[in-house]
Amino acid sequence: MGIDAFALLRWSRAAARLLRRASSPTTTPAGARGPVSTRRIPARGRFTYSPRPDGRPDPGEIVWTWVPYEEDPSQGKDRPVLLIGRDRRHLLGLALTSRDRNNARSADARYVDIGTGPWDPKRRPSEVRVDRILRIEPAAIRRNGAVLPRAAFDAVVGSIPRT
């Protein structure tokens, strides 16, 4: 059974289009309810570490959801988010990035290194942005990624600016 070169080429191009689309900025997905707000939330007693292996998103877990850009909240992209607590019916989270903000050349106190983990399929080192807390509808969580170890969670929460 031979491989049809044209079919393989079409499949390859379709896969490349999907990958480009997945990594580029998007508007709010139709029907999706992403984070409700990114306003400052008082830190008093709101942060808890309580991951449970029940398939539902819990504080202490890294999940994927749509996160709006700061400069244009009508646009954003799917990204990993560390859940850090609850605010009534919403989850509270902090966005992750694989862009290195703390290295030998520069340091940015808004980001805390958490290393690598199964939330990133490429196993790139990640950092958590601690000065922008997201309020997330639980239904907006697309998939669970991993449980962050307690020590890393405590380091992240300890770095959140107290306002």
**Boundaries of every domain in the chain:** 36-40+58-159
CA-based Rg of the chain, rounded to a whole angstrom?
18
| Confidence at residue 41, expressed as pLDDT on a 0 to 100 scale | 56
What confidence score (pLDDT) does residue 109 get?
Answer: 84
How many angstroms separate the CA atoms of 163 and 140, rounded?
27
Q: What is the rounded CA–CA span in Å between residue 75 and residue 35?
A: 12
What 8-state DSSP symbol labels residue 37? B
Q: What are the tens digits of pLDDT across the range 58-85? A: 999 999 999 999 889 889 999 999 999 9
- Residue 10 or residue 99, greater confidence: 99
Gap between the Cα atoms of 108 and 18, Å rounded: 33
Report domain 36-40+58-159's class: mainly beta
Which tops the pLDDT comparison, 144 or 157?
157
Query: Residues 119-139: pLDDT tens digits?
Result: 888 999 999 999 999 999 999
The pLDDT, as a whole number, for residue 103 is 67
Task: To the nearest 10°, report the CA torsion of 101, 107, 111, 113.
Answer: 80
Report the distance separating Cα 145 and Cα 122, nearest Å. 13
Q: Each residue of 17-44: pLDDT tens digit?
A: 444 444 444 444 444 444 545 555 555 5
What's the predicted TM-score (pTM) here? 0.73
CB 119 within 8 A of CB 96: yes
What value does the mean pLDDT of the chain take?
79
